[in-house]
Structure 1
């Protein structure tokens, strides 16, 4: 059957002619057709690449925000990542007041030094004008001409010119937490629907990150409060002056086992101790409480040298409790013919630091002894050293000097330099400076106890009730 016969047969059967493939345009128009198709395909590929890059940028931004735990750092990271995603020159995040009626905090990014200087002393916006539209209606907002908008309240003097705005509300647990504002794309174009969509997606992740940061802050506050409840309040140690600091680790929910203590003993000497239980959890904190309480009782009850107190403590602990490895420095400050002498023994702890009145520093290095919970059969030595009047004796835990990037010796050297620089400050201020500017990486909790050695070995006579006699 010929091709024509087949077509005729198809028409008689009602199937119609066979479909024909599309015909290319006439030869003169073929080049134009191919160029058009190639341009269309290129446009689609570029759009897909842009979409992929934007999606990857969004994922990276979500991960970056989720990696922060400090709330102030989270809020600033939200602003800067949103700016990066849409190419905005300026960004801000306004945190709503509990009433939901105005902004109580305003975090900005993108202002240069000159722009910040020009706005110095000017109160931050509280949600009037265009910014207040998101407070009234938390739907995404795009404005192409801020000054020409009916709700515009104008800019304060010195404010950089801004024309375009993209605003998105941030919700936490179903309630509006604040509003994210972006202004002025680098390409000078107004914000579009794609910009809005990507910032809305970011705002969803931002709400989760904010809630995580708030929960972390609550956990850390509870852990720190619990830890502080386990630490003693120092009694009056006259004629000595004493100051202490405890700082928790920067890691989330890390309870510690650091403690300090000092007391006047029945024989008119002063007992001081500092220790560190291994571990960073509730078990470490509980062990610290047991060890500290038992050591306090032994120190007060016995008149023996510090080494014998540590031996008795170690035996009692290993017979009655399962404790982690623990380091301790235990000392007695005793009156001497020429002033005061320190008698101490350590269980694997870092040596005390002595800062003399002429600002020289000396670590009282001596045989450290083994930590508690290692062996009760190894002798523990005692050591003695005279304490010049006006000097400072500093006991501390390793969280003050340990850093993953350098050795403990480097940390000890840095601490000695820091102590010498600030030793002439009041003692409470001195220990705060050490804790604020410590050479460690902050990954461990830290405890400090400082004593200023008096000139006299005699305590002042107490005056009559109600104040000194006149």
Structure 2
């Protein structure tokens, strides 16, 4: 490490109180007290046997969140000897503490301070109370979102201007390179300068760069003054960048690593202007504690984002684009519930069978998570394979799917509706088609006629897939004319806003009637916009099919096609 990087936060040792032997404690890497003397036990208000061999955070729960707690965390993270002097409320006394890391162990000596103190007990208690309230605010604020960008922005808002004049958060990307994830300045007039500098500076990986050093060593860095030689490479010869940096008037910097799950994934840079003193030992210890609390929240948000990307990839692979036969227009939509990962149990499918008929499928596996998506993938694949295998009526297909789910012990329940849209030879060229469908407990499709009428295609209720029922399944049949539109959907579209199925269906029928024969893509988007909005309460899947007119066909209302 360079000399600049080695200038970590070290406070000169306090004078030894005459005639008073310090208490000594040794912690291992898991914060277990492997050695503790009677003097330390007395200072902490415990018997030695209550401390020896126990985790310090369990043996002394009142230690959590105090400045002594932050000091111990800070001491563990640096390689040099550090000291602290301050008021420890649980013991009601002033302490002098010295700590130094030796391998995996942390050696700590504690001494009750004697003689005059730098401030009154009342002021010390008030300061500690204010600090604890701040740390509590950090904890509460950081767990309020799983959006990585918002998490970083929240951290910046918390530390500026409380701990610094301006701050930068850098995190390691998937490629291992650091990127600036967020920043902020206490003076709005300097915000543009900060953004200009961060966006246009030349990134360097020199040893003297404090942010890089903290990222790759996992140790805090404190520089009482910024050596111009450290900053110069970042200008890259640009006078614009240099001028922006000079206007920022950076005087000192403290960088604390962001660590979670034994990994350093980022760093928080706290910069003070020349008019503000460098960070004190107590401020550094507080910054270490802030970073500790914020790190897990930010890392959770990053992990959630990665899981979200994987989930979306999984969902896209399961929900393939529909075919576009020459005489049909097909549009599909899927929206996950806003309270879960972007996957769920709802699905759609559309494909052509070997005889040229189009098979349309809509379904809903019980559940709203990755498990539901996995089960949905199995059900969808089984159904697709069976339906394509041979020319069978929808009811027969559902019966065979049910048998496969039972025989393979899939162990899931699902609603599903299969519809076969075909044009028998006797209807060729007429624009009319036959819709044959069977429903396993699913909601009925809607038929928007060319003249604007909306018909609910109800059929006989039948059991869900996976229910192991032996009841026979049956088909329903309807004729679809040229210019007619079919709409298949899941319950998330009708139950949005805690609406009952009947009321929600009436709302959907009214919306379809009002929209009329718009293009099917516009129909899907408009229904989502009007009924669901930006935050779906449940998964939503939609399939819309417009039957195009054929040469010589007459649409409803007597309009000739073509």
Instruction: Tell whether the structures are fold-level matches, with TM greater than 0.5.
Output: yes
C-alpha offsets along residues 258-284 of structure 1, whole Å, 9 cap, x if unaligned?
332222235543210011111346664
TM-score, normalised by the number of residues in structure 2: 0.56
Tell me the distance in 1 between the aligned counterparts of 2:284 and 2:436: 70
Instruction: Name 2:411's counterpart in structure 1.
Output: 323
Does 281-290 or 255-264 show the bigger shift? 281-290
1:456 partner SS: coil
Instruction: Name 2:291's counterpart in structure 1.
Output: 203
Per the TM alignment, residue 393 of structure 1 is displaced from its structure 2 partner at its CA by 3.6
8 Å contact kept, 1:89–1:110: yes
2:306 partner SS: helix
2:160 partner SS: helix
8 Å contact kept, 1:104–1:126: no
Structure 1 segment 119-130 matched on structure 2, within 5 A: 124=199, 126=201
Tell me the distance in 1 between the aligned counterparts of 2:370 and 2:230: 58
Per the TM alignment, residue 78 of structure 1 is displaced from its structure 2 partner at its CA by 2.1
Tell me the distance in 2 between the aligned counterparts of 1:158 and 1:414: 58
Instruction: Name 1:454's counterpart in structure 2.
Output: 548
Structure 2 portions without partners, runs of 5+: 1-116, 215-219, 236-240, 553-562
2:411 partner SS: coil
Instruction: Name 2:156's counterpart in structure 1.
Output: 79
Tell me the distance in 2 between the aligned counterparts of 1:333 and 1:166: 69
Of 179, 182, 185, which residue of structure 2 is paired with 1:107?
Answer: 182
Tell me the distance in 2 between the aligned counterparts of 1:247 and 1:117: 38
2:255 corresponds to 1:168? yes
The root-mean-square deviation of aligned C-alpha atoms, in Å, is 5.1
Are the structure 2 counterparts of residues 120 and 225 from structure 1 closer, same or farther at C-alpha, using a change threshold of 3 Å?
A: closer
Instruction: Name 1:244's counterpart in structure 2.
Output: 332
1:194 partner SS: helix
2:464 corresponds to 1:371? yes
Are the structure 2 counterparts of residues 169 and 189 from structure 1 closer, same or farther at C-alpha, using a change threshold of 3 Å?
A: closer
Instruction: Name 1:16's counterpart in structure 2.
Output: none
Paired residue total: 410
Are the structure 2 counterparts of residues 425 and 118 from structure 1 closer, same or farther at C-alpha, using a change threshold of 3 Å?
A: farther
2:367 corresponds to 1:273? no
Of 238, 249, 268, which residue of structure 2 is paired with 1:179?
Answer: 268
1:291 partner SS: helix
Tell me the distance in 2 between the aligned counterparts of 1:426 and 1:445: 20
8 Å contact kept, 2:272–2:278: no
Instruction: Name 1:26's counterpart in structure 2.
Output: none
1:241 partner SS: strand
Instruction: Name 2:138's counterpart in structure 1.
Output: 61
Instruction: Name 2:169's counterpart in structure 1.
Output: 93
Structure 1 portions without partners, runs of 5+: 1-39, 459-470
8 Å contact kept, 1:394–1:451: yes
Are the structure 2 counterparts of residues 51 and 260 from structure 1 closer, same or farther at C-alpha, using a change threshold of 3 Å?
A: same
Of 466, 480, 485, which residue of structure 2 is paired with 1:386?
Answer: 480
Tell me the distance in 2 between the aligned counterparts of 1:318 and 1:79: 54
8 Å contact kept, 1:275–1:326: yes
8 Å contact kept, 1:402–1:441: no
Of 425, 445, 461, which residue of structure 2 is paired with 1:352?
Answer: 445
Does 135-144 or 154-163 show the bigger shift? 154-163
Are the structure 2 counterparts of residues 440 and 119 from structure 1 closer, same or farther at C-alpha, using a change threshold of 3 Å?
A: closer
Does 316-325 or 409-418 show the bigger shift? 409-418
Per the TM alignment, residue 328 of structure 1 is displaced from its structure 2 partner at its CA by 1.0
Per the TM alignment, residue 58 of structure 1 is displaced from its structure 2 partner at its CA by 1.3
Q: Give the number of the structure whose alpha-carbon radius of gyration is greater.
A: 1
1:371 partner SS: coil
